[in-house]
Amino acid sequence: MQRVVCDSRFLIVPTVQVANLASHVLGQCLNRLAMDWRERYGYAPVLVETFVDSDRYTGASYRAANWIRVGETAGRADGYANGKVSNGKKQIYVYPLRQGWQSRLCRESKLGIGELPRPEAPQDWAEEEFGSVELFDERLKERLLIIARDFYGQPGELVPQACGGSMAKVKAAYRFFDNRNTDMQGLLQPHIGATIDRIQEHKVVLAVQDITTLSYTAHACKDMGPINTKWNSAVGLMVHDTLAFTEDGVPLGLLDVQCWSRKPEESG
């Protein structure tokens, strides 16, 4: 959204009568908007938007300046304009500042490892490790912190026991796992960023790699692969992680985790 600039107000008072003045002023502003924005804020916008109250204005000056009408707002039931009841709907006009603006706005921003902003005053270890997670829903973030604290309190237990026997927490945990906005790499990104911060405090760090298997043989799980030899029917997932340690063996956190299932036809 920071790539979209809103023209919140544009008005030439009725006493000024100059032909084409409105569209001319709009054009002059748009010609230098991207350049000025980059100079002031460090990045260039790709689109300008505005909203026109159709009960009071026609939007003719915007159309004359080549703005595009793309629709109207939902409005409201209790609106008033010029002393009479109005549906509150406004026309939406946009003006592209560069080609390919649709794909630019629809492209999800990708932050590199360690680029997420860190919590300034975390309440506990869970918020320190996961407080900057990007889930785009504050409820999911709060649930992640609750799950992390509960699972830390009873490591190795089944989900119901780790959740303290609360069915509400169990259901919420499984809903969190099933949510399409949660994935392993996204959840690990803030923790890896915290690990990088801790690494920077040491001159020498050991990055230790290891591989392990997660067995789901006794569970009815789909998309699992073989985790043993072809003579063994065990199935599950393969996990390869890189864990950072100090020279004295103090763990600093994970640097990388890869998880996959082997394809039976390729495993041999």
The pLDDT value given to residue 97:
92
DSSP output for the chain: -TTEEE-------TT---TTHHHHHHHHHHHHHHHHHHHHHSS---EEEEEEETTT---HHHHHTT-EEEEE----TTEEETTEEE---EEEEEEESSTTHHHHHHSPP-PPTT-SPPPSS-SSHHHHHHTT---S-HHHHHHHHHHHHHHHHSTTS-HHHHTTT-HHHHHHHHHHHH-TT--HHHHHHHHHHHHHHHHTT-S--EEEEEEEEEE-TTS--SS-EE-S-TT---EEEEEEEEEEE-TT--EEEEEEEEEE---HHHH-
* Cα 188 to Cα 230: distance, rounded to the nearest angstrom: 33
Identify the CA nearest to 46 among candidates 99, 109, 92: 99
27 exposure class (CB count in 10 Å sphere: 0-12, 13-18, 19+): middle
Q: What is the pLDDT of residues 233-264, one digit of tens each?
A: 889 999 999 999 999 999 999 999 999 998 87
Q: What is the pLDDT of residues 137-180, one digit of tens each?
A: 889 999 999 999 999 999 889 999 999 989 999 999 999 999 98
Q: Which of 66-75, 103-112, 146-155, 178-187 has the lowest mean pLDDT?
A: 103-112
Contact 170, 146 (CB under 8 A): no
Assigned architecture for domain 110-188:
Orthogonal Bundle (1.10)
> Where along the chain do its domains lie?
4-106, 110-188, 202-268
Residue 122 has pLDDT above 90, yes or no: no
The pLDDT value given to residue 135:
83
Q: Which of 15-19, 21-25, 39-43 has the lowest mean pLDDT?
A: 39-43
Q: Which of 86-90, 92-96, 102-106 has the lowest mean pLDDT?
A: 86-90
Provide the CATH number for the domain formed by 4-106 in this structure.
3.40.630
What number is the average pLDDT over the span 102-106? 85
The pLDDT value given to residue 74:
86
Q: Which residue has the higher pLDDT, 60 or 220?
A: 60
pLDDT band at 110, cuts 50/70/90?
low
Q: Which residue has the higher pLDDT, 244 or 9?
A: 244
What number is the average pLDDT over the span 25-36? 91
The pLDDT value given to residue 142:
94
